[in-house]
Each structure stands twice: as C-alpha cells, then as structure tokens.
A = this chain, B = another copy of it.
C-alpha cells in the first residue's frame, strides 16, 4: 500500500522539521504545523491539523497565528465552507526568504538596537580616554559592524523587495575562492 508509505514519509518529515524548530527557538508544534502544510501542499482547517498532529485547538490556533506573522502560510477560504483553511507557501526560496527575514528581525535587530543604546551610554572616546574605554567602544563597533552587515545583506537579498536568495546563492557559489573544496562532504543521492 503506497498510501501508508506516503503518510509515513510525511510524518517523518514533520517530525524532523519539528525537531529543528526547537533548535531554532520556535515551538515544536509551530514547526510541525508548517511542515504538515508544506509537505502535503493541501489547504487544511484547524480540525484536520488537530487530528493529524494530535494537539489541542488552542495550540493550533496560536501556531497558525505565528506562521501567518512569519508569512510562510496564508489563509484560504473555500466557497460554501465557513471554516478557515491554511496553506503553506510552496516555493522553497520564498519560504527561506521569509524565514531569513523573520529570524533577522527576532535575533539580530534587537541586538543592534541594544548596541546603539549601549554605545551612547558608555563613556565616549576622547583624546585622553583610558585604554579600557577605547577598547570597549572598539569591541562594540566590531559587533555592530558584523551584525549590521548581516542585516543589510538580508534586507538586500531576502527583504520583501529583495533580489532573492537564489541570486545571492548563485553569486556566492560561482565566486572563486582559490581553495580546494574536496573536503566538502558529498551527500548520497544529491541531485546535480
């Protein structure tokens, strides 16, 4: 029975994606709901999701709301049905862009804001500053520069009007680095 194998494979995908979710700092259920909608490609309603993942209505409601904020799923209305259905973005690159955008927003932007504040609050560098102060400001600037560049690039390539992650990836993949890449682990079954 092919159907059973199909469900089994979907469930495994859902489990893997869910496990990754925890590493990312998003809840397991939220990741699982996304995985379910992505891997089946079907619009599903709250009850279908609850049944398939064995989680409560409240949990589905909260997970779905977050996923809508992340913009990796959208609401769909089926005519003649009062329920709301949800469908995942099917294009992988759009999905990755959305994830990159949201992660930067959550992980990097708050840090940059804090760095600006700290830099102002800290003693300013003047002509007779003690070495301590100079070093502190230098280190703050270092971090700001690094993460600032990451944010800028993310906006450039993954932002709502960005050039696209695929573009960035191609640029980088082609770039000559003048080193052997033989050490890269080749994956079984990888497509060319």
Cβ of A152 within 8 Å of any chain B Cβ, yes or no, is yes
Please give, as numbers and ranges, the residues of chain B lying within 8 Å of A44 by CB-CB distance: none
The answer on a CB contact under 8 Å between A132 and B16 is no
- Interface of chain A, main secondary structure: helix
The answer on a CB contact under 8 Å between A136 and B6 is yes
Contact with B along A117-146 (1 / 0, CB 8 A): 111111100000010110110011111111
The answer on a CB contact under 8 Å between A12 and B121 is yes
Give the contacting residue for A148; candidates B3, B155, B190; CB below 8 A.
Answer: B190
How many copies, total?
2
The answer on a CB contact under 8 Å between B139 and A17 is no
The answer on a CB contact under 8 Å between A121 and B173 is no
* Total A residues in contact with B, Cβ cutoff 8 Å: 83
Q: Which residues of A contact B (CB under 8 A)?
A: 2-3, 5-6, 8-10, 12-13, 16-17, 19-20, 22-25, 38-39, 41, 90, 92-93, 95-96, 106-107, 110-112, 114-123, 130, 132-133, 135-136, 139-146, 148-150, 152-153, 155-157, 159, 161-163, 167-169, 171-173, 175, 177-179, 181, 183-184, 187-191
14 extra interface residue pairs, beta carbon distance < 8 Å, beyond A23-B106, A96-B146, A163-B179: A6-B123, A6-B132, A9-B118, A16-B110, A16-B115, A17-B111, A90-B139, A112-B187, A153-B169, A153-B172, A155-B183, A161-B179, A162-B177, A163-B178
